[in-house]
A = this chain, B = another copy of it.
Amino acid sequence: MRLLVVEDEARLAAALQRGLQAEGFVVDVASTGPAGLDAARHGGYDAMILDVMLPGLSGYELVRRLRAEEHWLPVLMLSAKDGEYDQADGLDCGADDYLTKPFSYVVLLARLRALLRRGAPERPAVLAVGDLRLDPARRRVTRAENEIALTAREFALLNYLMRRPGEVVSKTELLDHVWEASVETAPNAVEVYVGYLRRKIGRERLETVRGAGYRLAT
């Protein structure tokens, strides 16, 4: 986990760096607004801790520019309670969370972890066969990184086949599981939808086993 700390007060910056490194983070520090913006743009960080009062460019303005450029890096903002700035501004300009100085280190860590957890949602439930990927939760299918649009029935069919890669699945089994058991559907419907699927995921990925059923090539 890589963090960027943008803070001009040297002692606080050093303390944060040391503390966060002790927690196992990789921490870079920038001490001016422009330097921070540059680092955030190019650095591939997982989150940024950002002071409001900075030389050269305020923290608000920094986030605003970052967001304007379509960077959605999670930002935890540190704002001084007194003075003209207030927390509402911090949120409105695009920060994800904020903390008022003085803050407890434990709280900072908790908020930071919450931010990171949100930032990188783990989704292990993705089916993959060859270069085909199917994400049931997002209802998304990609082939070699390209998204493929499927109808509900097509998706259900592919979903079933991808859970049995390499196996031959009979037409009646598909009718039972992909179609409602209640209504009688002609077996030809399966052939039709296999056809649709082939056009979208690639003809060769879905083999016909004559007299037996279909097999998803691994």
Is B130 a contact partner of A72 (Cβ separation < 8 A)?
A: yes
- Give the CA-CA distance A137 to B210 in the complex, in Å: 15
Query: What CA separation (Å) do A168 and B70 show in the bound complex?
Result: 23
B209 near A133 (CB under 8 angstroms)?
Answer: no
Select one of B74, B110, B113, B138 contacting A215, CB under 8 A. Answer: B138
Contact of A97 among B106, B126, B142, B152 (CB under 8 A): B126
Known contacts being A120-B106, A137-B167, is A96 close to B126, with CB within 8 Å?
Answer: yes
Looking across the interface, which residue of chain B has its beta carbon closest to that of A142?
Answer: B92
A182 at the interface (CB under 8 A from B): no
A140 neighbours in B (Cβ, 8 Å): 91
**A168 touching B139 by the CB < 8 A rule?**
yes
Whether the Cβ atoms of B70 and A152 lie closer than 8 Å is no
Contacts of A64 in B (CB 8 A): 145
Count residues of chain A with CB under 8 A from any CB of chain B: 56
Contact of A138 among B118, B145, B155, B168 (CB under 8 A): B168
A188 within 8 A of B: no
- B72→A87 contact, CB < 8 A: no
Question: What is the CA–CA distance of A114 and B122 in the complex, to the nearest angstrom?
Answer: 7
B98-A152 in contact (CB<8A): no
Whether the pair B70, A139 counts as a contact (CB closer than 8 A) is no
Task: Quote the shortest CB–CB distance from A166 to chain B (angstroms).
Answer: 5
Contact of A92 among B97, B145, B168 (CB under 8 A): B145
Is there an interface contact between B110 and A119, defined as CB atoms closer than 8 Å?
A: yes
Contact yes or no, B87 A70, CB < 8 A: yes
- Closest CB of chain B to A65's CB: distance in Å? 12
Give A125's nearest chain B residue, CB to CB. B97
Alpha-carbon separation in the docked complex, A110 to B168 (Å): 29
* Contact flags A66-104 to B (C-beta < 8 A → 1, else 0): 010010101000000000000100011111111010001
Name the 5 nearest CB pairs between A and B, nearest first. Answer: A152-B211, A97-B125, A110-B122, A139-B168, A114-B122
Known interface pairs A94-B145, A139-B212; 8 further A-B residue pairs with C-beta atoms within 8 A, sorted by A's residue number:
A70-B100, A91-B125, A91-B135, A93-B145, A96-B128, A97-B125, A104-B120, A118-B124
